[in-house]
Amino acid sequence: MSTYVLAAIAGLLTGAGLIIAIGPQNVFVIRQGVARAHVVPVVAVCAISDVVLIVAGVAGLGALVSAHPAVITLAKVFGGGYVIVLGLLAARRCLRSTEAIVTNAGEANTASRWAAVGMTLALTWLNPHVYLDTVLTMGAIANSHGNAKWAFAVGACLASLLWFVSLGGGATRLAHHFASPRSWRILDAVVAVVMLAMGAMLIASVGS
């Protein structure tokens, strides 16, 4: 098996390991999929963003970010605050009346496509973990493969594409299970817990 194929496989596995985790971005994709609201543009933004960040990391942006830690600090503060706000909004949806919860899917469907894309961009680019995982970690591992680093990058990008397509499509198939108010309440409770926990962890990690 050639060095390039091995590097691509390593990129695929490494990308999967770093991307497949329950975080604000993945939770948002799941909720959009369950609501069947703008799933394609949301998935496209997630995958394209990852590709851009992975390519940037392999090209050497990771070294530049490491030289300016204040960038990561600002991302932690603003990103953490933004994610906490989203968690509070999810908690409010969870505590709303039964009639209001039933309309969640309809609200998501009628919301602007650009609003969904904007939120996806914010959850992606304001999350410092994205830079740590894709730009710094992925970039460092890719460059350890020497001339095969771009084969590694292709594998990592493929992992991201497969994951987000599967996540959005899989969540869409679960939509029929969310016809009851209780199901939406449980989903929003999970969203709230994940968002609030991630936001608090980001802000608490400032200075560490």
Q: Which domain covers residue 51, as residue numbers?
A: 3-204
pLDDT on residue 22: 67
Query: What global pTM score does this model have?
Result: 0.75
What tens-digit pLDDT sequence spans the chain (208 residues)? Answer: 688 888 899 889 888 877 876 678 888 898 888 888 899 999 999 999 999 999 988 887 766 666 667 766 776 787 778 778 888 888 887 787 444 444 455 555 555 888 889 989 988 888 777 877 788 778 878 877 888 989 999 999 999 999 999 999 988 887 777 666 777 788 788 888 887 887 788 788 776 6
Torsion angles phi and psi, residue 26, rounded to 5: -65, -40
pLDDT on residue 152: 93
DSSP state letters, 152-174 = HHHHHHHHHHHHHHHHHHHHHHT
pLDDT on residue 208: 61
Tokens of 122: 């914010």
User: What Å distances lie between residue 128 and 45, 46, 143, 177, CA to CA?
Assistant: 17, 15, 21, 33
pLDDT on residue 126: 81
How many independent structural domains does the chain possess? Answer: 1
C-alpha to C-alpha distance for 84 and 24, rounded to whole angstroms: 10
